[in-house]
């Protein structure tokens, strides 16, 4: 029978199974050890995926024999992902056992050099097990390039990043309440008219203690710890209230895109939240577009597909964000329906109209594909007039980027250009 707690390849625990069981064990006197195999990707390429799978099973077997789980101990063993294994064990034996693991692995593979790196962390009383695992992983990652040692203990220097993550999680609610988090708007331009036809709402966190915290830091953290829906609901409500203020004053408005995480569909009833806010602020659905990034996992497929379809049936446009930034882009396009594709700014990185022949082929053929599927195409990250001219010449519908304007306050966006193309609310 398929069980979410057990890894089907190796028969040991999955991350989920590990986290739920470890939560019942007191961390006092325990160690978390994060193991990762060096160059596993290269190994797969050289010897094939079947041999790769064999190695993973072998590692699970070795770890299981050196950290056996029985009535006399609390040992837990899991495969978190790919070649990442985690052990929760008593700290007294941690280091000696890591050496035994290495020796065992060497003895099985005399011809191929395999190094299983280990990062060790001793959690304090009542510490969150997920944080403890992150620390063990940081220690493991820190010796990736140092081939003279194969294990390393976590130390405080590694924790700056984790401290920020913890700060973000601890202060999110206060930051929302005190409005340290706000929303700025970046113009979106229709290329056929050269006029602003929309805006993207982007969250900004200006913290009185930590200063400006970049979305590149707080978005992944909130996703990782499954708090992202709080930010997304807040940002969407903020947009509604900014728009209501303008409408009450008789000022023009244009459609705005809000960013949703695919996790919002799991963590809350995001459609209900948006519908409620839109009704309360009397905004028509044509005024709000939904952006979803392409990094969609297979597991979310049904929930997300239903969500996208419901949004579209209600009359919202759904846009695919950051198309081309990950390896799943084409499959996502195949499996989901979008109204607009936003081409990731990486397409234009280092772009030179006279030289970048390959980039031009890629951009124009993907544009053609969007056309054939009946979707509009928007180019992100436009920074120069040459890029703009090229995109216009090949028929992009919309563009966005510093060339037209950085994210700014809503009033500033409307003041940017007198001849804004106005879509009446």
Residue positions annotated with a catalytic role: 380
What number of other Cβ atoms are within 10 A of residue 7's Cβ? 22
Rounded least distance, CB 235 to ligand C2E, Å: 4
Kindly tell me which of 86 and 188 has the beta carbon lying closer to ligand C2E: 188
Residues 285-324 contacting Mg ion, CB under 5 A: 291, 321-322
240 binds ligand C2E (CB under 6 A): no
- Which of 42-50, 329-337, 358-366, 375-383 is the region at the interface with ligand C2E (rule: CB under 6 A)? 375-383
Number of residues that bind ligand C2E (CB under 6 A): 25
Q: Are 184 and 409 in contact (CB under 8 A)?
A: yes
329 binds Mg ion (CB under 5 A): no
Rounded least distance, CB 292 to Mg ion, Å: 9
261 binds, among Mg ion, ligand C2E, none (CB under 5 to 8 A by kind): ligand C2E
Rounded least distance, CB 14 to ligand C2E, Å: 26
- Which of 300-308, 326-334, 350-358, 379-387 is the region at the interface with ligand C2E (rule: CB under 6 A)? 379-387
381 binds ligand C2E (CB under 6 A): yes
Kindly tell me which of 199 and 240 has the beta carbon lying closer to Mg ion: 199
Q: How far apart are CA 179 and CA 69, in angstroms?
A: 49
- Which of 18-26, 160-168, 243-251, 253-261 is the region at the interface with ligand C2E (rule: CB under 6 A)? 253-261
Helix 215-224 crosses helix 160-177 at what angle (to 10 degrees)?
Answer: 90
Rounded least distance, CB 380 to Mg ion, Å: 5
Rounded least distance, CB 256 to ligand C2E, Å: 12
Among 366, 401, 413, 414, binds ligand C2E (CB under 6 A): 401
261 binds ligand C2E (CB under 6 A): yes
Residues 300-339 contacting ligand C2E, CB under 6 A: 321-322
169-188 in b/e burial notation, b at 16+ Cβ within 10 A?
bebbeebbeeebbbbbbbbb
131 binds ligand C2E (CB under 6 A): no
String marking each residue 78-107 x if it binds ligand C2E according to CB under 6 A: ------------------------------
String marking each residue 251-270 x if it binds Mg ion according to CB under 5 A: --------x-----------
294 binds ligand C2E (CB under 6 A): no
340 binds ligand C2E (CB under 6 A): no
Residues 193-222 contacting ligand C2E, CB under 6 A: 202-203, 215, 219
Sign of the CA dihedral running 226, 227, 233, 236:
negative
Phi, psi values for residue 203, rounded to 5°: -75, 140
407 binds ligand C2E (CB under 6 A): yes
176 binds ligand C2E (CB under 6 A): no
Rounded least distance, CB 16 to ligand C2E, Å: 23
Q: How far apart are CA 198 and CA 188, in angstroms?
A: 5
Q: What is the CA radius of gyration of the chain?
A: 25
Which residues neighbour 228 within 8 Å (Cβ) at sequence distance 6 or greater? 219, 222, 261, 263, 264, 267
Residues 343-362 contacting ligand C2E, CB under 6 A: 345
- Binding footprint of ligand C2E on the chain (CB under 6 A): 186, 202-203, 215, 219, 228, 231-232, 235, 259-261, 291, 293, 321-322, 345, 380-383, 400-402, 407
Residues that bind Mg ion (CB under 5 A): 259, 291, 321-322, 380
């Amino acid at each position: 029978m398929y069980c979410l707690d057990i890894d089907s390849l190796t028969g040991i625990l999955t991350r989920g199974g590990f986290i739920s069981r470890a939560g019942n064990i007191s961390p006092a006197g325990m160690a978390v050890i994060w193991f990762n195999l060096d160059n596993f990707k290269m190994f797969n390429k050289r010897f094939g995926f079947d041999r790769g799978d064999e190695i993973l099973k072998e590692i699970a077997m070795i770890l299981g024999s050196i950290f056996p789980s029985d009535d006399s101990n609390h040992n837990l063993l899991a495969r978190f992902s790919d070649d990442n294994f985690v052990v929760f064990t008593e700290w007294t034996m941690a280091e000696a056992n890591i050496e035994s693991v290495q020796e065992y692995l060497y003895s099985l593979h005399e011809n191929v050099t395999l190094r299983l790196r280990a990062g060790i962390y001793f959690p304090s009383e009542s510490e969150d097990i997920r944080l403890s695992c992150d620390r063990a992983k940081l220690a493991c990652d820190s010796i990736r390039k140092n081939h003279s040692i194969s294990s390393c203990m976590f130390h405080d220097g590694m924790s700056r990043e984790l401290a920020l993550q913890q700060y973000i999680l601890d202060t999110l609610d206060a930051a929302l309440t005190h409005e340290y988090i706000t929303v700025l708007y970046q113009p979106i331009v229709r290329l056929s008219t050269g006029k602003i036809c929309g805006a993207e709402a982007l969250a900004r966190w200006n913290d009185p203690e930590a200063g400006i915290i970049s979305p590149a830091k707080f978005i992944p953290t909130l996703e990782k710890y499954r708090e992202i829906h709080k930010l997304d609901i807040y940002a969407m409500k903020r947009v509604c209230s900014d728009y209501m203020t303008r409408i009450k004053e008789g000022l023009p408005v244009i459609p705005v895109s809000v960013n949703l995480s695919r996790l919002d569909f799991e963590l809350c009833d995001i459609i209900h939240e948006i519908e409620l806010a839109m009704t309360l602020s009397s905004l028509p659905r044509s005024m709000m577009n939904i952006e979803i990034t392409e990094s969609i996992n297979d597991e979310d497929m049904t929930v997300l597909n239903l969500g996208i379809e419901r949004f579209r049936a209600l009359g919202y446009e759904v846009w695919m964000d950051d198309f081309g930034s990950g390896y799943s882009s084409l499959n996502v396009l195949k499996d989901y329906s979008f109204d607009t594709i936003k081409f990731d700014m990486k397409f234009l990185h280092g772009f030179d109209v006279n030289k970048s022949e390959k980039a031009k082929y890629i951009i124009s053929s993907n544009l053609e594909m969007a056309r054939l599927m009946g979707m509009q195409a928007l180019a992100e990250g436009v920074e120069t007039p040459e890029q703009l001219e090229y995109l216009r010449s090949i028929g992009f519908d919309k563009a966005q980027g510093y060339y037209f304007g950085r994210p700014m306050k809503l009033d500033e966006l409307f003041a940017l250009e007198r001849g804004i193309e106005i879509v009446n609310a």
